[in-house]
Structure 1
Amino acid sequence: MKLQTQIPLQKAEKQIDYESRLVFLGSCFSENIGEKFTYFKFRSLRNPFGILFHPLAIENLVSRALRKKRYTQDDIFYHNERWQCYDAHSDLSALSQETLLGALNNGLEKTAEHLATATHIGITLGTAWVYRHLETDTVVANCHKVPQRQFSKELLGIAEMMVALNTIMDSVRSINPKAQFILTVSPVRHLKDGFVENQRSKARLISAVHAVLQEGVSYFPSYEIQMDELRDYRFYKEDMVHPNRLAVEYIWEKFSAVWIVEKARPVMDRVDAVQRGLLHRPFYPDSEQHRKFSENLEKKMENLREEFPFMDF
């Protein structure tokens, strides 16, 4: 796809290949791009606590994981017939305390393990608006549809978010000094906060991110690409807020062009061929033609696994 207005992209300091180890934390951009890396079988972890929208929630996850501070019954609560945790997305809620605590602590362990070996860490910020739980005086990652009267709504300051981002990076560098950080601002507009309020939020996020850029820390303009290059509503889902598949593909093309090394692309093509083959549904599963197709597909997977033992189809 070629558009008239194109945002110039800076070449990455240290590009990604199949030797890289990736961690994606934060809002929807991390989920979408992280899903792409999962599809192409790079070694990656994305959002072990589900989507986290603001920098304080991401800082809490990273700090808690690296300090090995496990979750206990005191950290969870029962609401709407499920056990919940204010530090995680509702995707992690569970019917029993044991299941939720297991998921939370397993997520912490995975996060710590991957951060210690990651070559690239992508952090996407979605909003500067946060909710503070009045009873505990703590900022939550997710309200889980608890009545609004139990929270106050606040707009984080630029300096406050800079501290959170620097704390995240300093914490990781204490155990993994060579990790590269990729910072982005999510193109998803939080219009429930209001049109003006969303713009104020995004402006603060962008200002905070650019204030912490340094060697080993890069900015990818996913927000600007969506707002300026893909500014037509045909690039949005039906809710007119979230980028649709066409927009995600376009932003992925832009991202991969500057962040993925050229030599990885033939491998990605091979992985893509296998993934498409696995999605194939034959009309005649017992036919000789399908048997040969399956044998050929298995051979392709074996060849990839021989070169890259970590690949699991």
Structure 2
Amino acid sequence: MNFTTKIPIAKSNAPIDYSSRIVSLGSCFAENMGEKFDFFKFQNTTNPFGIIFNPISIETIIERAINLNYFTEDDLFFHNELWHCYEVHSDLSRENKEDFLLNLNQILKETNQQLTSATHIIITYGTSWVYKLKSSGTIVANCHKVPQNQFDKEILSVEEIEKCLQNTLDLIQKINQNCNVIFTISPVRHLKDGFVENQRSKAHLITAVQKIINYPLSIIHYFPSFEIQMDELRDYRFYAQDMLHPNSVAIDYIWERFCESTIVEEATSIMQEVASIQKGIAHRPFHPQSISHTNFLQNLSEKAAQLKVRFPFMNF
């Protein structure tokens, strides 16, 4: 007897392995998946400019990185004792303007290199709702706690999102024609927008993405993160205490479904080796000075060294 409706997910025709170079961009759920890639020691970069939720802002930062359109002082503003940029997350904000600008442009340069060499770019869209700065009409990635009366809130139409996604694909293909792009919709519920408004937002994203993946481009793939949370995990026990974000059990389950469809089976044994080492590193012994623990650490170090010979990019 089945107690859930399991979503069929086709195997990727361009699966990820340990030679893959991955760039993950988008909402906080992109961070959840990025942490999994990092734990298993894949070659992964997650949100170099911080969490970004809406399609327009993701396109904007990709365009800036690909065209190496460096940030200038005109892109910065001072608020609440920090320098900010409307295109990036508040985590990057700094007290010193020169340091902030230098850091942004260093990240920009690195992101250009990462996008150029990536084999897979995973983009997780969170919402269709956007905030426009009244003074310029510019859609921002983050409001940085600037008073809400400085912004107009709008929902992007399906057509606007579809055009945005196509522009994003065109930009990526401009510098990396062989890269595979995986679109997914975040399962996080944005109830601050309202219950009906959240459903509208997700529906616009899903409709636009489905239109795009029907284009005759083999590089586009779709992974149903949102659908798995809504249908396979249809219960509040799979949510965190805020009842909005997937909890660790849900994230682990969605990751398992991702592995089944998008990571080559041959990588499984390597992932198990990495997990064994990671768990060993995280272990906190009762008697750290004991001979048995010293031997345990020595064995762990040897396993890590053997993996690093095979995969020089792995660091534990």
Residues 4, 231 of structure 2: 8 Å contact kept:
no
Write the distance in 1 (CA, Å) between the matches of 2:7 and 2:76: 44
What amino acid does structure 2 have at the position aligned with 1:164? Answer: C
**C-alpha RMSD of the superposition:** 1.1
Residues 128, 201 of structure 2: 8 Å contact kept:
yes
Deviations 1:206-236 (A, max 9, x none): 0110111142111111111111111110000
Residues 24, 45 of structure 1: 8 Å contact kept:
yes
Q: Identical aligned pairs, as a percentage?
A: 53
TM-score by length of 1: 0.97
1:128-143 equivalence runs, <5 A: 128-143=128-143
- What residue is the counterpart of 1:176 in the other structure? 176
Residues 71, 104 of structure 1: 8 Å contact kept:
yes
Write the distance in 2 (CA, Å) between the matches of 1:140 and 1:28: 17
User: Between Structure 1 and Structure 2, how many residues are aligned?
Assistant: 312
Write the distance in 1 (CA, Å) between the matches of 2:277 and 2:50: 28
1:154-193 equivalence runs, <5 A: 154-193=154-193
Residue 311 (structure 1) shift: 0.6
1:232 paired to 2:207: no
Which shifted more, 235-244 or 166-175?
A: 166-175
Deviations 1:239-279 (A, max 9, x none): 00000000000100101100010110110001001111111
What amino acid does structure 2 have at the position aligned with 1:122? Answer: I
Residues 21, 43 of structure 2: 8 Å contact kept:
yes
- What residue is the counterpart of 1:146 in the other structure? 146
Q: Which residue among 308, 311, 315 is the counterpart of 1:312?
A: 315
What amino acid does structure 2 have at the position aligned with 1:7? Answer: I
1:10 paired to 2:13: no
Consecutive unaligned residues of structure 2, counting only runs of 5 or more, are: none
- What residue is the counterpart of 1:27 in the other structure? 27
Write the distance in 1 (CA, Å) between the matches of 2:235 and 2:66: 42
Consecutive unaligned residues of structure 1, counting only runs of 5 or more, are: none
Residue 8 (structure 1) shift: 0.8
What amino acid does structure 1 have at the position aligned with 2:295? Answer: K
- What residue is the counterpart of 2:119 in the other structure? 119
Residue 3 (structure 1) shift: 4.5
Runs of 4+ with deviation above 4 angstroms: none
What amino acid does structure 1 have at the position aligned with 2:307? Answer: L
User: Cα gap change, 1:121/1:5 in structure 2, threshold over 3 Å: closer, same or farther?
Assistant: same
**SS, match of residue 18 in structure 1:** coil
TM-score by length of 2: 0.96
Which shifted more, 71-80 or 175-184?
A: 71-80
What amino acid does structure 2 have at the position aligned with 1:311? Answer: M
1:92 paired to 2:92: yes
